[in-house]
Amino acid sequence: MKIVILDGAGANPGDISWAPFESIGEVAAYDYTSKDQVVERAKGAEVCITNKTVFDAAMLKELPDLKYIGVLATGFNVVDLEECRRLGITVTNVPEYATYATAQMTIALLLELACLPGRHSSDVMDGGWCRSPQFSYFLAPLTELNGKNMLVFGFGKIGRRVAAIASSLGMNVSAVPHHPDGTEGTVDGYKIPYTTLDEGIKTADVVSVHCPLTPDTKHLINKERLASMKKGALLINCARGPVVDEKAVREALDSGILGGYGADVVSVEPMLPDNPLLGAPNCVITPHIAWAPKETRIRLIDAAADNLKAFLSGNPVNVVN
């Protein structure tokens, strides 16, 4: 069996192994594949593995041997699912592999905005502490999170893990679940009351979004909702870039309505030079790396290989079409 991995460098830049796939068939792994290389490289393959390489209808029609596309990610919008259904191509994804790592990044961004360790370290390394007339100094106000209100929008596995960590920091956490099953949830013994976004956002000191990108969640955090937040509140986005209106966020940061924005995602990735968040005050952005710890990527590859094994055994799992 021929297995083609089209854009492996994201998940495996060379520090881990493709052995889980190599145990199944003959593997051709490419670091990157441009749009005009997809058909050429995938020709004759029964299995293709993609992370962000697009499979559109025109490409799929030129790959008659293709039976299976494994998406090396949770999101699968890069594949034309309707055309795959028509052609009998099974498509799978890997859900929930980065729960702990994404929650960890969420809290890291929150702590950076609250405590400013990166900003202060840079100043110290530039000689700022050496020039200080006293033993301690701070460049901007710092925030103690104990007792602050956090609103978690999206109470799936990542949102629940964030709620548990924030609760352990002494924060008062409330949540907006996709499908409420009562008036509150419980995570690691912490009771998390449920609310609505428009109610919870008014009293939140921190808002953290953890929802998929859908037509309903695009620009969920917009100019109107930002205006309803407490002045100086913090916003964290480890979901998807377009969940927030970046232009409105920039305006809220410039005006001081928003005290800080931390994100691991932007509306177009890689980031465009005209993104309004570039150079914004009190803004911390990382290049979509919440999923990137080595342990997390090993889990991803193992799970993707298990998906393929299940498909070959006639019992496919994590099918998205």
Q: What is the pLDDT of residues 143-175, one digit of tens each?
A: 999 999 999 999 999 999 999 999 999 999 999
Active-site choice (160, 161, 250, 288):
288
Averaged pLDDT, 106-131: 98
105 pLDDT exceeds 90?
yes
pLDDT averaged over every residue in the chain: 97
What is the CATH T-level fold of the domain 2-97+294-312, as seen in this structure?
A: Rossmann fold (3.40.50)
Q: Does this model's pTM top 0.85? A: yes
- In which band, very low, low, confident or very high, does the pLDDT at 179 lie, cut at 50, 70 and 90? confident
Q: Rounded to a whole number, what is the distance in angstroms from the first to the last CA of the chain? A: 22
Domain ranges in the chain? 2-97+294-312, 99-285
Active-site choice (210, 225, 240, 297):
240
224 an active-site residue? no
Helix (H) or strand (E) holding 300: helix 294-312
Write out the two tokens for 233: 């509140």
What residues have CB less than 8 Å from 81, skipping those under 6 apart?
91, 320, 321
288 an active-site residue? yes
Active-site choice (144, 199, 224, 269):
269
Give the pLDDT confidence score for residue 201 in this predicted structure: 98
Q: In angstroms, rounded to a whole number, what is the distance separating the alpha carbons of residues 60 and 80? A: 9
Cα 259 to chain centroid distance, Å, stands at: 22
Averaged pLDDT, 189-196: 97
Averaged pLDDT, 247-265: 98
CATH number for the domain whose boundaries are 99-285? 3.40.50.720
Give the pLDDT confidence score for residue 266 in this predicted structure: 98
Please give the C-alpha separations between residue 31 and each of 37, 103, 191, 208, in angstroms, as whole numbers: 12, 28, 45, 33
219 an active-site residue? no
32-58 pLDDT, tens digit each: 999 999 999 999 999 999 999 999 999
